[in-house]
Amino acid sequence: MTVATMKTLPIDLDRDRLPRHVACIMDGNGRWAKARNLPRIAGHRQGARMLKDLVRCCQDWGIPTLTVYAFSTENWQRPLQEVEFLMRLFERLLRKELAEMHREGVRLQFLGDLSALPDTLQAAMGRACETTAHNRGVTFNVAVNYGSRLEITRACQALAAQVQQGRLQPADIDETAISRQLYTLDDPDPDLLIRTSGEQRLSNYLLWQLAYTELYFTDRYWPDFDRAAFHEALLAYQQRDRRFGKVPAAISA
């Protein structure tokens, strides 16, 4: 099956065992560009094209939620020219793609400390979330200025404030209470994490939410991560025995 014919779910995938939520660390844009003697921004542009098709692929194949790591709290340390380009790219993509995503039923959400972003980008994100809030297609979460340790720290601060105000007892703080303070409060935890470019670390991404997530690492750079590559990742996922800490049935019997 070629990439061009992968509009429908490949027959070797079990629809009933697809992940409900896929998370991605989109790594390798710069290295993809360097390998082709192109500027880093060319890698980001091609990576954006791959991301657009992955959203559509999730819609086509029946995967309800996709969360991608677009810009971390540490990415501000990159060269200023690259950071400014990424901010403009985010805003330009929102202006260009919002109408089409809305028409296709995509629900767009942004995770992270958005207050540090340019005002025009914050406004564009707000419009996108408001416009697509009631859509029932794929939920597309974009993590921007996101860091998981900061997310968990802020969740703890919010719960501590509720205790201080007498609205919450310390004994009532459980996993559910913490989860409700996270950016992903309305989404199930990811079933599958995909990281491209050969790196095998989480890089401060969804540390709480990935507790029982299946991890898949590939040497492909993100701009090469097409539907065929996604198909390979899903095949690998469906070969996993997800026990969530339980003893396998064959052994317990």
Residues identified as active-site: 27, 75
CA distance 150 to 204: 9
CB 160 within 8 A of CB 152: no
CB 189 within 8 A of CB 214: no
Which two structure tokens, joined as six digits, stand for 51? 């991301």
Cβ partners under 8 Å of residue 1, min gap 6 = 10
CA distance 18 to 174: 29
Q: Where are the alpha helices (DSSP H) in 6-134?
A: 29-35, 40-61, 80-103, 119-132
Angle at 39 between CA 38 and CA 44, to 5 degrees: 105
CA distance 1 to 6: 7
How many Cα neighbours within 13 Å face the side chain of 19?
Answer: 32
For 37, list phi and psi in degrees, rounded to 5. 55, 40
**3-state secondary structure at position 13:** coil
